[in-house]
Amino acid sequence: MSAAMSRPFLKMNGLGNDFVVVEARSAPFEPSAEQVRAWGDRAHGIGFDQLIALEPPEAGSDADAKVRFWNSDGEEISACGNGTRCVGWLLMQASGGDRAVIESKAGRLIATRAAERLVSVDMGPPGLDWQDIPLAREQDTRALSEALSDDPALATPPGCVNMGNPHVVFFVDDLDAAPVTTAGPVLEHHPLFPEAVNVGFAQVIDRGRIRLKVWERGAGLTKACGTGACAALVAAVRRNLTDRSAVIVTDGGELLIEWSAEDDHVIMTGPAAVDFAGELP
């Protein structure tokens, strides 16, 4: 079956970060960038932040499924935290179990049931070396020495984290006044980031709470970004701004992020919801 043929999908969301999830375990699914952009168009298509394909795992693997992600601009990406949580919930609902193992380009991810509609995902360890992000040249990723913006609201040096995709995190005094929609699209394509970057704007409320907005690479401003929430917590801990466990407050709701001191893994816990079912045109 080709991508051009009619194919069922589920529309899901994690804190308003919304996805079209396509079952591709029985027939290959290779959408073109043009198709992804058309489906993702909120005015004329279905509308989504990311498209997700659920594929069979690699031969000999004990994983439940393999996932692929595309941003609404048509580009395939390696990781999507909220999307992984939604897929994990689907797989656990199908199996009746409380654990799902998911393969992705970012590595092996493990989802567990935290409550009726809450899912935890082990996102693995963060990438913190400048080459992990990746950056175009060597920098201290805890606090960049290179100024990226002349906006006074972004005067504090940002931190960089890779959570399966690249993130830069700016700490701001007032999130509501932060230049998210003006600086975000410019910084997304800053030459320091050869693969472009997700741009986070974080306001630390206290040691256990961060407000966050993320301009997502290839998707723009979203209601929530799972990998962005993970990156914000890691960046804050590296600057001793928060504890290793904190609630990340997004426009779509709250995520609990924990960065384990024992195994260096980042655990994300939050809700998953099914909105409706349909067929791709």
Same-domain status, 67 and 120: yes
Average pLDDT over residues 208-225: 97
> What is the average per-residue pLDDT within 67-73?
97
Q: What mean pLDDT value characterizes the chain?
A: 96
- At 201, the amino acid letter reads F
Residue 4 has pLDDT above 90, yes or no: no
Domain shared by 28 and 52, yes or no: yes
What per-residue confidence (pLDDT) applies to 2?
A: 45
pLDDT at 116 over 90: no
CB 196, CB 78: distance < 8 Å = no
Q: What is the mean pLDDT of residues 69-96?
A: 96
Are 256 and 275 in the same domain? no
Assess whether 110 and 177 both reside in one domain: no
- Does the active-site annotation cover 80? yes
Q: Is residue 167 assigned to a domain?
A: yes
pLDDT of residue 281: 81
For residue 32, the domain's CATH number is: 3.10.310.10
Domain range for 83 is 7-124+271-280
On whether residue 140 sits in a domain, the answer given is: no
Query: Domain tally for the chain?
Result: 2
Catalytic residue among 86, 160, 225, 230: 225
Whether residue 34 is found in the same domain as residue 96: yes
pLDDT tops 90 at residue 196: yes
Cα separation of 88 and 98, whole Å?
Answer: 9
Task: Determine which one of 80, 86, 160, 230 is catalytic.
Answer: 80
116 and 200 both lie in a single domain: no
Q: Does residue 225 form part of some domain?
A: yes
- Do 95 and 191 sit in the same domain of this protein? no
Are 27 and 114 part of one and the same domain? yes
Q: What is the pLDDT of residue 3?
A: 44
* pLDDT mean over 66-77: 97
pLDDT given at position 142: 98
Mean pLDDT, range 16-26, rounded to an integer: 96
* Residue 123 amino acid letter: M
Confidence of residue 5 (pLDDT cuts 50, 70, 90): low
Q: Has residue 253 been placed in a domain?
A: yes
Q: How confident is the model at residue 42 (pLDDT cuts 50, 70, 90)?
A: very high
pLDDT above 70 (res 84): yes
Query: Residue length, the chain?
Result: 281
pLDDT for 218-254, tens place per residue? 999 999 999 999 999 999 999 999 999 999 999 999 9
- Determine whether 160 is an active site residue: no
- pLDDT surpassing 90 at residue 86: yes
- Whether 118 and 12 map to the same domain: the answer is yes
DSSP, residue by residue, 156-212: SPPEEEESSSEEEEEE-S-GGGS-HHHHHHHHHT-TT-TT--EEEEEEEEETTEEEE
